[in-house]
Structure 1
């Protein structure tokens, strides 16, 4: 009977340590994740929802991988925001088909943003992360190096390669759209 009690204490301590670890990770990163999402969507409620979903995913993941990094959290948050934006874009597209919505300059900006986000989505996680943190969040190369635990030279090279790859992906998308537009004439 005593052994069972000891095992129960070990399990309770393990759960308490896991909860404490998650709480520390949450407290450390929640504001940064929220700001990251809010800067992209400019919607307080949506940013809160996506931040909550991101940390729910982290909570589920802590069983598999006890150390959750800020890079992982920001990638999850960005992917969830992209999912929402895609759903919203499809919905607005359906409304336009039935003549409910007006086409505006905002639609063009949204289409361009989705094109860039789509191209970013085709990049490796490292490339996406470094471009997002550098160009959207405004982190300097030295700040990126510190944030990602890498040397400044390594980050400079990574940013250069990531930019080159993004440019190639965007060019592929433009070429693909031109081919589709040209093919519809024939």
Structure 2
């Protein structure tokens, strides 16, 4: 009986996290965001801690409130050792605040993301487990979509959109000869 109760609870949690919903992937032109970030080599599990560190730096030192975190992941953790994984982790700066950023004042790197076509999907951000659902649902959907488009997979960007309570996944679409 305990196993049945546990199974029902797990299925309920999975349903709450939209684990049973279909992931819709499409090609969208996006990008152009200004980000404050840190280059990271190592386990992707560091993402939350680094995002928080940059968020609080922006809030307390530069008086900029950034409500969207970002992770740009360059390597596939199934193919590359954890200590060699490359990423850029940080926060998206709203356009109204970009003029308040100064390369000389900011202790982190600043750049504008390229505006181009990406394979794009979304998932509700309900709690920390939403990221896990992304691994098991969104990444396979992106892989399938990109393969069907005859493209090669590029870096993956995850945008943690706190105000809109969603995670936006964008994977760069590369030509097969790139």
Larger Rg, first or second structure (1 or 2): 1
TM-score, normalised by the number of residues in structure 2: 0.30
TM-score, normalised by the number of residues in structure 1: 0.29
Which is richer in helix? 1
